[in-house]
Structure 1
Amino acid sequence: MSLTDLLGPLLEPAFTFMGASTSWAELLGFATGVLTVWLVVRQHMANWPIGIVNVVFLGLVFLAVGLYADAALQIVYVVLGLYGWWQWLYGGAERSRLTISATRPAEWLWLIVSGGAVTVLLTAVLASWTNSAVPFWDALTTALSLMATYGQCRKLVESWWLWITADLIYIPLYAYKALYLTSALYVLFLGLCVAGLLSWRRELAARSLPVAATGAAGTTA
């Protein structure tokens, strides 16, 4: 049995909504996507293996509708998922579990520069070598997602802002491509990202309080 024979049924319609068919891959991507982001908010380690399964489903969906950069991005997500899994387990001090931190100015600088370069390069590639109808938006969301995924791998609290920005673009982009279920999924993602931002900020602030209190006590003494 070939890979096409194995994966082909996932692109068969599961149901039809507003005149557009929703494939099994899109439906399964919806379910695993919601579960993955919910687990990230809770900092549960299972988000990584479930997230890898999720990107396989979504990669098939994006390839089928001509979102080539997003489809290729799912391959990168698999690699980043393995990296993030290892980082969360052993990326802390003395190979301990990683804790939430803020993005340093130097990290922001190279993230913005690299994100801008990826956007420009991918826009040119998609416009010249594919039939993509939305090369710039496809490239921009790809760059933002890569930046956000790196931040998530390193448990940087500002990664949620990058995900929120990407989701605000993804929602109308997928609706434009008649991927209504995936567009709805990103509405849920948006809400979960806001919840994640608030949760991670609270934890970071709570962890900083004892340090601030100790410093204040030392100054008074």
Structure 2
Amino acid sequence: MIDWLNSTALTVFGVGTTWAEVLGFVTGLLNVWLLIRQHVLNWPLGILNVLLLMVVFGTAGLYADMGLQVVYVILGLYGWWAWLYGGAGRSELVVRTTTRAEWLGLAVAGVLLTGGLWLFLDRMTGSTVPLADALTTALSLLATYGQTRKLVESWWLWIAGDLIYIPLYGYKDLWLTAILYVAFLTLCVLGLRAWRKAIG
């Protein structure tokens, strides 16, 4: 199965694109579209998406992004449960704004994650982009956590991450994934607007 996922499905900008990247593209778009609509099926589809992207990133040597996918599976399972039962009285969650204390916690976690991952990737792996890989990983984790809690500002974290991911994936010749992240950036803006309206 892994060999098939790593085989070339098509060529994008003169670079072979694997089945894992093509399927990651399709499931990623569907996942974010369902997330914008606050549909709980975004979580199981997102888990499939990150398993596919784990293969893509491992092959490309983006080790933090590959490891991030494992955490996404865990956050996906948590988000699935939280959206159904994480509200008051084990009810469904509703969209809300991020509190000042939550922002402080996210900022501290972001600095620690970025710094720790940067040192690890720079000293312990062959990563050619340790800082960018660490920063995007930290932003992605914080954004995903925010979305498990339906925090509207989590879309801003995704937007910041996408603005770094797009040139990073282009640099790594993952052109289909770079295009996917352009689409994600557009969807994030739509998601931000939709979730703001959901607050009232």
| TM, length-normalised to structure 2 | 0.99
| Structure 1: runs of 5 or more not aligned | 1-5, 207-221
- Provide the residue aligned with 1:114 in structure 2: 109
Query: Deviation digits for residues 74-128 of structure 1, max 9, x if unmatched?
Result: 0000000000000000011100000001100111001110111010011111011
| Counterpart position of 1:13 | 8
1:87 is aligned to 82
Give the Cα separation in 2 of the matches to 1:175 and 1:201. Answer: 31
Provide the rounded CA distance (Å) in 1 between the counterparts of 2:183 and 2:172: 18
Mapped to 2, the partners of 1:203 and 1:81 lie a distance apart of 22
> What is the one-letter code of the residue matched to 1:160?
W
1:199 partnered with 2:194: yes
Matched, 1:123 2:106: no
Aligned mates of 1:57, 1:201 — CA distance in 2? 31
The aligned residue for residue 215 of structure 1 is: none
Root-mean-square deviation (CA, aligned residues, Å) is: 0.5
> In structure 1, what is the Cα distance between the partners aligned to 2:12 and 2:194?
34
Map of 1:33 onto structure 2: 28
For 1:141 and 1:149, locate their aligned partners in 2 and report how far apart those are by CA, in whole Å.
12
Cα deviation per residue 1:25-68 (whole Å; 9 max; x = unaligned)? 00000000000000000000110000000000001000001000
SS class of match (2:11): strand
Structure 1 partner of 2:157:
162
- From 19, 26, 36, give the equivalent of 1:24: 19
For residue 16 of structure 1, what is the amino acid of its counterpart? T
Count of aligned positions: 200
- 1:174 — aligned with what? 169
What's the offset of the Cα at 1:19?
1.9
Q: Return the alpha-carbon distance in structure 2 between the equivalents of residues 117 and 18 of structure 1.
A: 37
1:9 Cα deviation from its structure 2 partner? 1.0
The residue number in structure 2 matching 1:212 is none
The alpha-carbon deviation at position 8 of structure 1 amounts to 1.7
Letter of the aligned partner of 1:60 in structure 2?
V
Distance 2:66 2:106 in 1: 22
The alignment's TM-score, normalised by the length of structure 1, stands at 0.90
Identity, % of aligned positions: 61
Question: 2:43 corresponds to which residue?
Answer: 48
In 2, Cα distance between equivalents of 1:8 and 1:152: 33
Paired residue for 1:97, among 92, 101, 106?
A: 92
**Cα shift readout 1:155-183 (whole Å, capped 9, x = no counterpart):** 00000000000000000000000000000
- Is the radius of gyration larger for structure 1 or structure 2? 1
Give the equivalent residue in structure 2 for 1:210: none
- The residue identity in structure 1 corresponding to 2:76 is G
Return the offset for 1:16.
1.3
| 2:148 is equivalent to residue 148 of structure 1 | no
Gaps of 5+ in 2: none
